[in-house]
A and B are shown apart, each in its own frame.
Chain A
Amino acid sequence: MKKILFFLIDFYQKIISAILKNLLGVNKFCRYTPTCSEYAKISIQKKGVLKGSYFSILRILSCQPFFNK
């Protein structure tokens, strides 16, 4: 399971992300470092598939104007 997720994230980072940037005409749109996808990798590695994915999704959802910490 972990392997599949890592593969998907890798695929996203290397290919999808570049295509999306071209399609939408922006080249940098992360407010976070590390980026969400990198964060997802780390947190899945550290906390396991379920918890890690949960944190990653929370993080992606927090990337919008109405979020304040």
Chain B
Amino acid sequence: MSSIFSLFNTLLVNPIINVLVIIYQALNFLRIPYSLGFSIILLTIVVRLILYPFTNSQLKASKKMQDLAPHLSNLKNKHKGDAKMLQQETMRLYKEHGVNPAAGCLPVLIQLPIIWALYSVLQKVVGNNVHQVVSDVNNIIYFNAFKLTKPWDQMFFGIPLGQNPSQLIGKVGFIILLVPLITGLLQFIQSKMMFTSQPKPQNNQNNKEDFSSAFQKQSLFIFPIMIGFFSYTFPIGLSLYWNTFTIFGILQQYKLQGLGGLNEWIKKR
């Protein structure tokens, strides 16, 4: 198990830390204030740009499959009990409508370790023992020229990136609650855009499927609340990463398919 972790570190975490420090040093060189915070934002954008093609093809396929959902449930009724036939017909339907069945789910899952790696990088970077962080980071840096010579300033517009809202609430006041609120809200917007409500398939749905889809619907609300709560207990630096990540996702989704599920709400008003 520990060898898996060290492989994960060598392949993903350490390279990402190196990129982060290069960005940081560049910003420092340009004398940009709050360079650590901006480095986190830029790093997230860089990673999102690398993931862009993966996410894009996924979003497209996902949209098409959602459009085809009614056809699929028709097929399911037609070929009940004949799994092989159903599979063939499904593939044919996908082909007809230009869904790329070659994409599959593994390209999506590639994103997971990267999200996790970014998380552990930032967990390291915003550690509170600044001198320890500097020596840890310097051990990982590939090029001597980029090594940190002094601890970085953790302040970002007056808020220390290494502390979490629950610690800061005493010092900064209730305004810090905006961080978990905004984090949850952005997450909600992204999820809402993603799920366009579908016309209900008419006949015999069994209970189990009903439960799953009900949870799916509720997760639209549960997940943002969960994320908001996490960001209340996680260092601000991590929220900065996650929100940049989400905003990029929202923009990418918007560019590709407009407001999506948000449309229903905006039209109502």
Contacts and interface: CB of A to CB of B under 8 A. Distances in A.
B65 A28 contact: yes
Interface residues on A, range: 20 to 34
B182 to A, nearest CB: 17
Given A26-B58, A27-B195, A34 B104 contact: no
B215 A14 contact: yes
B4 to A, nearest CB: 18
Contacts of B103: 31, 65
Interface residues of B, number: 41
A19 interface: yes
A34 to B, nearest CB: 7
Contact of B104 (A14, A23, A25, A67): A67
A24 to B, nearest CB: 6
A13 B66 contact: no
Interface stretch (B7-15, B105-113, B158-166, B168-176): B105-113
B59 A25 contact: yes
A32 B103 CA distance: 12
A20 B59 CA distance: 14
A8 interface: no
A5 interface: no
Nearest to A28: B65
Contacts of A62: 104
Given A23-B115, A63-B105, A67-B104, A29 B194 contact: no
B193 to A, nearest CB: 9
Given A33-B90, A65-B103, A65-B107, A25 B223 contact: no
Contact of B194 (A27, A64, A65, A67): A27
B62 A28 contact: yes
Given A14-B211, A65-B102, A22 B115 contact: no
A63 B106 contact: yes
Interface in B49-89: 55, 58-59, 61-62, 65-66, 69, 72, 76, 83, 86-87
Given A22-B220, A33-B86, A64-B104, 18 more contacts: A14-B215, A15-B215, A18-B215, A21-B194, A21-B219, A23-B112, A23-B223, A24-B108, A25-B55, A26-B58, A27-B66, A28-B62, A28-B69, A29-B62, A31-B105, A33-B72, A64-B106, A67-B102
For the complex of A and B, the 8 pairs showing the least CB-CB separation, nearest first, are A64-B106, A63-B104, A18-B219, A22-B223, A28-B65, A64-B104, A26-B62, A31-B101
